[in-house]
Amino acid sequence: MDKDIATPLRTRAILEKYGFSFKKSLGQNFLIDTNILKKIVSFAELTDHSGAIEIGPGIGALTEQLARLSKKVVAFEIDQRLLPILADTLAPYDNVKVIHSDVLKADVQQVIAEEFTEFEDIVVVANLPYYVTTPIIMKLLEERLPIRGIVCMLQKEVADRISAVPGTKDYGSLSIAVQYYTEAETVMIVPKTVFVPQPNVDSAVIRLTKRESPAVKVKDEQFFFQVTKACFAQRRKTLLNNLTSQLADGKRKKGEILSALETSGIEPSRRGETLSLAEFARLSDELYHYFH
């Protein structure tokens, strides 16, 4: 009998034992390849002093690998039907705590304070449900959690957008939002064949290493993100067109927008995807004067 939860045989046996059926609405796809799981965990570089936070443990396949390599694992599971399964599959590990909660509504800061009091090193490692990948990542970053970083599996297409560089078609406001807080790299591509049920798309594992301080200094973070979103509102449009149509009062302040672009040394005819993080920072700081 293979000990690992993730083998196809053992996964099937667990699902049958509990009569578990997948909920499409929760984006449940379980990994059935132990080698891939071990590889994902290796990217997190855990030690026996590390704490791991997992989101959506499923039947515990990744949780088990994390429990073997870290000091403690705290997993957030939204699906009540999985709690008894996890209690069973993770019974051999006394360093795992499962919290029945939607991570998007949870006070993660509070959980870290209570569960990882003595920990200096905390990493989020997760096979994220596809339909909420971006909101979960943004929540973890915006809340400035005391974590070293995030290693997660997500849709390859979203991973491409997160780690994209300026001048590419994948580069957009999501790339900027994530790279503002972290250094982002796609570390592995995962074929759809290693999941049950099989998703329609391939996945990728992305590693986000938190920066000591954000990539660029800006006067107003919220406004900076507002400006980057505006610049990508319609990809084919120029910066000038997007900013005038997207910023509140933009049409009336077209002259001010032009002068902010000029002061930042940015051609009004450029498109959002050509600007670096530093250029976006300069531009949003110049625009800030006129819109506040």
- Residue-level pLDDT at 1: 43
The binding site for S-adenosyl-L-methionine consists of 29, 31, 56, 77, 102, 127
| Domain ranges, residue 243 | 221-291
* Residue 104 counted as domain residue: yes
138 and 251 fall within a common domain: no
State the maximum Cα–Cα separation within the chain, in Å, rounded to a whole number: 72
Asked if 182 and 206 sit in the same domain, the reply is yes
For 107, 136, 143, the CA distances from 110, given in Å and listed in that order, are 5, 16, 11
Q: Is residue 147 part of a domain?
A: yes
| Residues 253, 245: Cα–Cα separation, whole Å | 10
Q: 201 and 228 share a domain?
A: no
> pLDDT tens for residues 86-100?
999 999 999 999 999
- Predicted confidence band at 110 (pLDDT cuts at 50, 70, 90)? very high
Same structural domain, 153 and 119: yes
Same domain, 93 and 203: yes
Residue 199 in this model has a pLDDT that exceeds 90: no
Average pLDDT estimate for 161-167: 96
In this structure, the answer to whether residues 30 and 115 fall within a common structural domain is: yes
Number of domains in the chain: 2
Specify if 69 maps to a domain: yes
For the chain, give the percent of residues with pLDDT over 90.
89
Sheet holding 149-155, edge to edge: 96-100, 72-77, 51-55, 122-127, 149-155, 203-210, 182-190
Same domain membership, residue 40 and residue 14: yes
Amino acid at 280: F
Residue 3 falls inside a structural domain? no
Q: Please tell me whether residues 49 and 175 are part of one structural domain.
A: yes
Residue 200's pLDDT is what?
86
Closest to 22 measured CA to CA, from 196, 203, 155, 202? 196
Q: How far apart are alpha carbons 158 and 131 in whole angstroms?
A: 11
* pTM for this model (two decimals): 0.92
Q: How far apart are CA 83 and CA 91, in angstroms?
A: 12
Binding positions: 29, 31, 56, 77, 102, 127
